[in-house]
Amino acid sequence: MNYYNEIKQELINNEVYKKVKDYSKNRSDLKTYYNVGKLLSEAGKNYGEGIIKKYSVRLTEELGKGYSTSNLKRMRQFYLLIQKGVAMPHQLSWTHINALLPLKNINEINYYIFICEHQNISYRELRLKIKNNEYERLDDKTKAMLIKKEEPKTEDLIKNPIIIKNIYDTSNITEKMLGQLILEQLPSFLEELGVGFCFIKNEYKIKIGNRYYYIDFLLYNIKDNRYVVLELKNAELKKEHFGQIKTYMNYIDKNVKTSHQNPTLGIILCKKDNKFVFEYVPNDNVVDREYELV
């Protein structure tokens, strides 16, 4: 079999197809690169690893730029990845896939594909999520659910720790300073939380009896159709924090939430987690997460 001629024809056909049907060029790219990757894999088995470099030189001379050794190896890697059972949805472009190829963990790759499908993120957003080790910051329960193809809840996808960029000269910040940091980088903070989170107000004032209280952040999750109470703690998680946030959540449920909305979710964002406290304190609809200043 003449692997080189087969590879060259696949690439030529793809260029012609893209010019004729521009709207389908991404699908054509992926199909072509899969086929080329398969041929390169077979050629490598028959002629050795060096054959890719030889093909690269010839393709560049005859077809122009875009067929470097590294690009051809990516096509082969793409083919081998699909052979391992990774499904590539049509939303992913070749640039998205190139961001995934360096990853070694199949479960991690599947997670980012899941995020691309559900959040319709750009290549740059995907690169940032990978750079910030988003998958590694999920808990083991959520990772297990994703491996089993189970649909995780919104709160399951809240990362731990939550990464917050620190613009202050000190790491010993107050809760007020922490709140200001979140406000100044609100879009990225909401993305750290996950899917569907929207900002309503910070220091949201409520009245219980004759006293006024202030919820650090009142959010709303469009996907879950529910309010979210976010409380900030620049210390280790304590049992008193659950009592406070449950009070605020109950207030929202009784005075703000309507009958067609779901019960309120509570998030305690603390400097240091305490799993023992969380284990023995009633925490329905409450999750706790650490924050990390970078």
Q: Tell whether 107 and 39 lie within a shared domain.
A: yes
User: From CA 152, how far away is CA 278, in angstroms rounded?
Assistant: 20
User: From CA 80, how far away is CA 182, in angstroms rounded?
Assistant: 42
> In the predicted model, what is the mean pLDDT of the chain?
92
pLDDT in tens, 118-155: 888 999 999 999 999 999 999 999 999 999 989 899 99
For the cut 90, the answer to whether the pLDDT of residue 14 exceeds it is no
Within-domain flag for 210: yes
Average pLDDT rounded to a whole number, residues 205-229: 97
Q: Tell whether 37 and 69 lie within a shared domain.
A: yes
Number of domains comprising the chain: 2
Q: What is the identity of the amino acid at 107? A: N
Within-domain flag for 263: yes
Within-domain flag for 231: yes
CATH number at residue 203: 3.40.1350.10
Banded pLDDT at 20 (limits 50, 70, 90): low
Q: Which residues contact 67 (CB under 8 A, 6 or more apart)?
A: 11, 55, 56, 59, 60
Q: Tell whether 133 and 164 lie within a shared domain.
A: no
Within-domain flag for 152: no
Within-domain flag for 87: yes
Within-domain flag for 153: no
Within-domain flag for 19: yes
Banded pLDDT at 282 (limits 50, 70, 90): low
- Return the percentage of the chain with pLDDT > 70, whole number: 96
Of 137, 168, 192, the residue at which a domain comes to its end is 137
Contact 29, 94 (CB under 8 A): yes
* Residue 194 or residue 205, greater confidence: 205
Report the predicted TM-score, pTM, of the whole model to 2 decimal places: 0.85
Average pLDDT rounded to a whole number, residues 17-22: 60
Q: Indicate the DSSP class of residue 136.
A: G
For the cut 90, the answer to whether the pLDDT of residue 23 exceeds it is no
- Determine the number of helices (DSSP H) and then strands (DSSP E) in the chain: 12, 6
pLDDT in tens, 62-94: 998 889 999 999 999 999 999 999 988 877 899
* Residue 223 or residue 18, greater confidence: 223
Q: Which residues contact 160 (CB under 8 A, 6 or more apart)?
A: 137, 138, 139, 273, 289, 290
Q: What is the pLDDT of residue 233?
A: 96
User: From CA 109, how far away is CA 21, in angstroms rounded?
Assistant: 30
213 SS3 class? strand
Domain around 47: 3-137
Banded pLDDT at 286 (limits 50, 70, 90): very high
Banded pLDDT at 229 (limits 50, 70, 90): very high
Q: Which residues contact 243 (CB under 8 A, 6 or more apart)?
A: none
Of 77, 104, 137, the residue at which a domain comes to its end is 137
Least confident of 143-152, 198-207, 262-271: 143-152
